Structure 1
């Protein structure tokens, strides 16, 4: 291997770019980032209103799940950023720290040192108010009047208002967003762009990692595909796998790290027998609806992702397990449904989505998420072809309690749409599932047929101290040398809400671990 770096980071997403910033701050450290997607940052990416145009594009991995038994064998669309900045370049810009109970649960599950008390300073340090690079804008500053009507409807049902969920409050209120001067300002803008000219930092885009290179149990480099050729690069200090909760376990398996029987099926020699690789996958099921139709078009102001209700399904829960999200100008309707169906039937592939054509200004949409799912699925490589998508099994509703909760969230959504601030204030009537659907049995079937993904993924390389943990509490791959995993795959369990800020927090902590472990 003629090319040598101190650190090779596989994946230029949220975690990878945080690490690129922090590790290259040492001007003696040579840092390489390998990103499978393009180095693109166009107006489509910058404009918070155009997020739907990135869906199903060349900047989206656009996975299809394996058929889901509880959703009538549907193959669910799973978005993930395949572009420099990763999913932080295509996401809905939500900045959410989750609740203390989420991280205390990590500690109780064996991740000592990752409790709320341990991680809270890192959350505070990543936002501008704490001296960090990320904004946390109150979406209500330029909110849509329809969004305010949603908040009023929830209050009418007895739910309290919160001022900022990042202080631990639950109830109904405005999202916090990574928006600055009206534009997307996530990890690429906040962490990477200010330092990309550092002479010791190199980024190779359109570079797909095909396997990790080992000498014994030590990871010494990465093989990757670029411009139709196979390349190898040496890592003199560490390889850091930051490819996300779907690609990271796949690459480990292609490199001989995983369950021995799974590796044997692939025909890959075992380097490390780690049965937890690709297991314990968590992703939140998302009920697409209910929706409402108004007797007049809604205002064309604000962003599409503004207000939210977080609440507990039962008294005594330490954190919310239900999220109800209101989209006042949702890119939803018959045209988009037709496009998605055609896309699934043809097996995926990039298409050109033109968001304005899908927006009906009379339609509002609720998205209901089971944010603390009980079900656990898996992600596994199916071929030694590094460009082949893995088998992704979200295991939606495998645990019946998840479906019960999804139905309850849908019922709550119908109640919200029926309240006076929306029904009378905007002449709104329920469009889907529609007033003709009555009874819990019918709603249960409707939920099963209208479940998608919230596009948050975790836990396939989870940290811990038990036998199925993949990384230790400093995110080093167990049994290996020179190899760490730093992304959402290491989360012991899914936080109650949105995962982007938690991923950034993990990367900030990892940068400190790496600096401490390799102090010059």
Structure 2
């Protein structure tokens, strides 16, 4: 029987991927470590997603530091995770938390589904594998919010160069090689992808050599997508960062372990309570606890543990540890809309089924993009619009999004018990400016989709067609869906609604940090996996400095 860790190791430089004994060592080592769980570890990292995996790996680089990485989900060694073009099969599966938003009058009383990863690797194991760094203005805004240049664009650009293993045209000014994160432009893309870039160029959007680097300093741009796919296989953040260290004695990865609460002595976090194999366990953290559970479960665990709005906690009978009214507030996501065309002659999708991306603006005078569009090489839409318009057997989609929605949602507990579900009031399209931006997004998608470079691929436009006024608004409210970029619910900042400071410490609490997309003050421009890796790298840097951890990076994976 395969274990959670029986899977080919990444072929990154310096690894022992050709060592036939590596997987056996991992299986044996992790079996031993998890069957002999300790009462206390130096660090407990909660969540193995795009931030938590980075934190756990960087801490475990010090052989004298014990690290426990907790994951509520199970193995990532399944075809729908490993095989890049099967990613959509994870949606709604047991590898997806399958959250559901509240019915919302601004989207015609629909309940929008919010997928998040419940598996080793978190979102990086079920997402579309697009690597998008975020815009220069995003990072400079974050630095200004916390008055810390370490979060600014120049600092973050250095991090990106350090962590990347770029397999595209050499670009040392912007791209890095030799790091843990394999990235490449979608190889041998479907012909419709470069045609989409040409279509964007025909409407005034400049073409770039790749969608990161220079393009993330521009107001508009189009490029073949950067993807975390190698030889048709997914490269998750867990596989890139954690897996190569799983034969070491100081890193324990425990799956099917649901974090229910934090434990405290006064205002000091002392560890976690977990539900594991039907039993509640308490495990201590001698140094720190790091929450990397994502923008829905991180605030949920904080509130269940007594950190949140005092009045809300008291109403539910939860003892208050720290009044932080911003916990669960400021919920953001890229609201997205499908525009669909039927193929004239069907083409098979390639790579991750999404190989072209472009960024633009909804109005003149903006200094950074407020719209972005990913092409899907299959037809897709909300259930409501699929019924209304029908979907062709063979087609393609421009999946357009509002990059910086003004609408803000909130999360609420329904009870004091950790098993009580959380309520997601996403408030999608509640700000009237978002509807105006959505109209501009649809107009841009139609302008590109119906442009001359794409006509050879079009039999007909399926949706929305030339709708105006109330009909267009109805289409938008029925189309609105999640881009699966849930963020910002425990934001970094200095105001009364901030939850963490620039060093990711939870205000008023010792030995507790948050490292995931919930700390972003604003959702970044484009897909959020890469920014979450940066959050993990920043958290690790901060922890190393604060606790004076020395890193010993070994050139092989043997236990020494």
Alignment TM-score, normalising by the size of structure 2: 0.85
1:93-492 to structure 2, matched below 5 A, reads 93-113=129-149, 114-129=151-166, 130=176, 131-139=178-186, 141-169=187-215, 170-287=220-337, 289-330=338-379, 362-423=394-455, 425-434=456-465, 437-492=466-521
Other-structure match for 2:43: 7
In 1, Cα distance between equivalents of 2:75 and 2:359 = 36
Q: Which shows bigger deviation, 414-423 or 177-186?
A: 414-423
- CA-to-aligned-CA distance 1:61-107 (integer Å, 9 cap, x gap): 01001111200111101010000100000011011111111111112
CA distance 1:333–1:507, change in 2 (3 Å):
closer
Contact 1:63–1:389 (8 Å) recurs in 2:
no
Q: 1:57 matched to which residue of 2?
A: 93
Spell out, residue by residue over 1:372-421, the C-alpha distance to the aligned partner (whole angstroms, 9 max, x if none). Answer: 11111112222223234311122211111111111111112122222223
Contact 1:99 1:168 in 2 (8 A): no
**Cα offset, 1:159, TM superposition:** 2.1
Matched residue of 2:131: which SS? Answer: coil
CA offsets, 1:212-243, max 9 Å, x none? 00110000010110111111101111011110
Could you list the per-position Cα deviations for residues 445-466 of structure 1 after superposition, in whole angstroms to 9, with x for gaps in the alignment? 2101111001102111111122
Do the aligned partners of 2:208 and 2:221 also contact (CA within 8 Å) in 1?
A: yes
Structure 1 492/438 Cα, relative in aligned 2: closer, same or farther at 3 Å?
Answer: closer
1:328/1:365 contact within 8 Å kept: yes
After TM superposition, the structure 1 stretch with the greater mean CA deviation from structure 2, 33-42 or 470-479, is 33-42
Q: Is the 8 A contact 2:222 2:359 kept in 1?
A: yes
1:307–1:325: 8 Å Cα contact kept in structure 2?
Answer: yes
Provide the rounded CA distance (Å) in 2 between the counterparts of 1:382 and 1:138. Answer: 44
- TM-superposed CA distance for 1:330, in Å, is 4.0
Corresponding residue number in structure 1 for 2:554: none
User: What are the superposed Cα offsets for residues 429-476 of structure 1, whole Å, 9 maximum, x if unpaired?
Assistant: 111124xx5323321221011110011021111111222211111001
Which range moves more in the overlay, 174-183 or 271-280? 174-183
Q: SS of the residue aligned with 2:194?
A: helix
Distance 1:172 1:281 in 2: 28
Q: 1:403 to 1:305 in 2, by over 3 A?
A: same
The 1:419/1:32 distance shift into structure 2, 3 A limit, reads: same
Contact 1:52 1:331 in 2 (8 A): no
Q: Deviations over 1:251-294 (max 9, x none)?
A: 0000000110111122101000111111111111111x211112
Aligned partners of 2:348 and 2:246: how far apart in 1?
39
- Give the whole-Å Cα distance in 1 for the aligned partners of 2:365 and 2:180: 36
RMSD over aligned Cα atoms: 2.0
- Cα deviation, 1:180-228, whole Å, max 9, x if unaligned, reads 2321112122101111111111111111111100110000010110111
SS in 1 for 2:327: coil
CA distance in 2, matches of 1:100, 1:158: 21
Task: Note the C-alpha offset of 1:337.
Answer: 5.7
Deviation string for 1:480-518 (max 9, x for gaps)? 111111111111111111111111011111111111111
Change (3 A) 1:163 1:79: same
On the 8 A contact 1:248/1:489 being kept in 2, the answer is yes
Instruction: Supply the distance in 2 between the matched residues of 1:145 and 1:303 (Cα, whole angstroms).
Output: 14
Task: Mark the CA change 1:2 to 1:299 in structure 2 (over 3 Å): closer, same or farther.
Answer: closer
Matched residue count = 496
Tell me how far 1:332 sits from its aligned partner.
Answer: 5.9
Q: Which runs of 5+ in 1 are unaligned?
A: 339-357
- TM-score normalised by length of structure 1: 0.91
